[in-house]
Each structure stands twice: as structure tokens, then as C-alpha cells.
Amino acid sequence: MNEKDTQPINLIILYKNTSKAFKYLLSQYLIILIISVVFGLIGITYAWLKKPAFVAELVFSAETGSDNVLSGYSGLAAQFGFDLGGGSGGAFEGDNLMELLRSWRIIKATLLSEAPGAGGDKLMIDKYIENHEINKYWFKDSVLKKIKFEKSLLNEDRARDSVLKAVYKKIILDQLDISKKDKKLNYITVKVKDVNEEFSRRFVTILIDNASRYYVEYKSKKARKNYELVSRLTDSVKALVYGNITSYAVSNDLNVNPIRQVVRANTQRIQLNTQANSALYTELLKQLGISQITLLKETPLIQIIDEPSLPLKKEKPGRLLTGIVFSIIGAILTVLYLLFSRWIRTNITRNSDN
């Protein structure tokens, strides 16, 4: 018998086995129905007892000066050793900016920020632990009950840092959502979900505030350093010019004999230094203006479009839908269990017959 002849036989055997399995499941419909109802009741109870989650949504736009209209001034400034170029590039443009909001640095800074309205020295991490009852059984542990969070974590603490990491992972995986509704627009939507309504609203606001400060500082860092350098040089040369003017006046007062030309040499030298320093001071003033414009241009604008306001959107699983989903899961698990147990009994019977 070749392979072509065995194909119809295999199909017939498959059909018979499927029919037997279906008839067996029909004979066990009462068990499947009871377990499905039990699972459905569990689902309804779960949806009823589950705390609602409050969603705080914030929309913002990050605008940067990408077109370098100061290239001509930058070339002139480069001749004097000043770098007034195009800033720090696009390290946090687009999707990279979204990843910045998910970073450990920003989330950690937000968790260690002061909780507004909480009173005392409570931080956001303290409110989070309180909302989710994470510290419910900490009093039983000699290490955990001593944990104290501060704004500046100067000393390393393994237990405290482990709690921070665990909270960070929970927020990133289940509670924080960052997206762009439209790829063509530069609007970024940030959603934070928590069981505490006020915490959700505060957290998303502080998160954007911390990210904005870091983002602005990073983008304008190079231009700010150049501006500070030019400003210091300008102040130094200005002091020299004012000193030269005073020295020139003192020297003129001392040179009362116009016949002796040798005594006028010091006055002429001071006058020459004054002219040179004045020319340098004039040029530095120009560069100071250019660097100031560059700093303003390289400083990005974080514009808040929509802020979360109370009452927040409430999310809670529907009882009916949850009950139906749990019923289906219960029915599937029951069917798999019945088929598996029937297959084991059949194999045991065959082995005993042989």
C-alpha cells in the first residue's frame, strides 16, 4: 500500500476520533456548564471587587530651532575661537524624547519628588507605596521597616533601591503609556493610570516637568557654555578698558611739563592699550549678542497642550463582559481537561489489554 492509499484511511480515522471526542464532550455538557457558570461568577466578583483606575492624560509639544539661521555669525565667531554652532543635535528628537520619559533617570526623579498636598516630607514614592499597600507587611521584616526615601539618595541602600526598581518596572509595564496620536504631528500624549486619582494627576505633571528641565538643559548646554565664556571675557576686557581710562587720566595729571616728551611715553602707551582693549571690547560685545541669540534659539520650548483635570477618566472592567470572558476560559479549560483525561484512560486500557 503506497502513500496515496493511506491518506483516505488517515482522514477516516481522524473523522471517527473527532466524532467520538465530540460525542464524549456532549455527554459531559453538565460538568462543562457548571464549571463555566462558576468561572463566570468568579469573573463578576473580580470585576466588582477590583479598584477602579484613574487615567491622567497630558498632551505636549516639543519645539526646537532646527534651522540654523546663524551660520554666518557662527563662522565669524569661530575666527575668534568661539563655537556658536548648531547645538547638541537631535539626541532627544521624536521617539527618543518618548524614551526619555520612560527612562530610569526621569521616573526616579519623579518618584523622589515632593508629593504636593501630602503634608510633611512625603515623596511621590511614599504615596505610591501607600496607595498600593506595598508596605502592608513591612513591619515583619527588620530591613524593610527601616526603609526611608529622601529627595537626594546619597548613600546606597540595597533594599531601598530594590523597592524603587520594582515600582519603576510596575509603572513602565502597567501604568505609563506614551504615544503619538498622529505621526505627522509633533504632539506626544502621556497617560498615567493609578488607583489614586490625585496621584495620577500629580505624577504625570511632575513627570513632564522633570523631563522638560532635563531636555532643555541638555539641548542648550553647549550654547549656554559658549554664552557664559563670552560673558566672562567681555566683563574682563571691560574692567581693563575702565582701568586704562583711569590710568590715562592719572598719567596726564602727572605730566605737567609739556617740554619734556619722555614723560609722555607712559601716557601714549596707556592710550595705545586703551584703544586696543576698546576694539576688543567692541568685538566681544558683538559676540556676546550673537551667543545670546544662539542660546535663545537652542533652548527648546516645551508647550503643554492639554493638562489633566479632575475628575479623571475612570477605568474598571465591566462585570458582564468579565463574567463572559471568565466563563469562556472556564469552558476551554474544562474541555481540555476532559479530553486529556479521556486520552490517558484510553491509553491505560490499551496497555492493559496488550
Q: Which domains does the chain have, with CATH numbers?
A: 53-219+299-315 (3.30.1890)
**Listed residue (278, 279, 285) closest to 248, CA to CA:** 278
pLDDT on residue 72 = 47
Q: Which residues contact 167 (CB under 8 A, 6 or more apart)?
A: 111, 125, 128, 129, 134
Residue 226 has pLDDT above 60, yes or no: yes
- Report, as an integer, the average pLDDT of 113-130: 82
CA distances from 238 to 6, 11, 285 (A): 102, 98, 10
Residue 68 has pLDDT above 70, yes or no: no
Residue 279 confidence class, pLDDT cut points 50, 70, 90 = confident
CB 176 within 8 A of CB 191: yes
In angstroms, rounded to a whole number, what is the distance separating the alpha carbons of residues 161 and 138? 15
Look-up of cell digits 574692567:
239
Look-up of cell digits 493609578:
194
Residue 38 confidence class, pLDDT cut points 50, 70, 90 = very high
pTM: 0.65
Number of H helices, E strands in the chain: 10, 5
Q: Which residues contact 234 (CB under 8 A, 6 or more apart)?
A: 281, 284, 285, 287, 288
Residue 230 has pLDDT above 50, yes or no: yes
In angstroms, rounded to a whole number, what is the distance separating the alpha carbons of residues 2 and 183? 59
Residue 81 sits at the vertex; the CA angle it makes with 89 and 272, to the nearest 5 degrees, is 155
Structure-block grid coordinates of residue 180: 503619538
Residue 142 has pLDDT above 60, yes or no: yes
pLDDT on residue 70 = 45
Neighbouring-strand partners of residue 158: none
Among 56-60, 91-95, 307-311, the minimum mean pLDDT is found in 91-95
**Listed residue (226, 239, 237, 222) closest to 287, CA to CA:** 226
Q: What number of other Cβ atoms are within 10 A of residue 249's Cβ?
A: 11
Residue 67 confidence class, pLDDT cut points 50, 70, 90 = very low
In angstroms, rounded to a whole number, what is the distance separating the alpha carbons of residues 304 and 207? 13
Range list of β-strands (E), the chain: 53-63, 176-179, 187-194, 301-306, 313-315
State percent of the chain over pLDDT 90: 16
- Supply φ then ψ for residue 78, to 5 degrees: -65, -30
In the DSSP assignment, the letter for residue 183 is T
**Listed residue (89, 301, 88) closest to 186, CA to CA:** 301
In angstroms, rounded to a whole number, what is the distance separating the alpha carbons of residues 194 and 54? 5
65 vs 321, higher pLDDT: 321
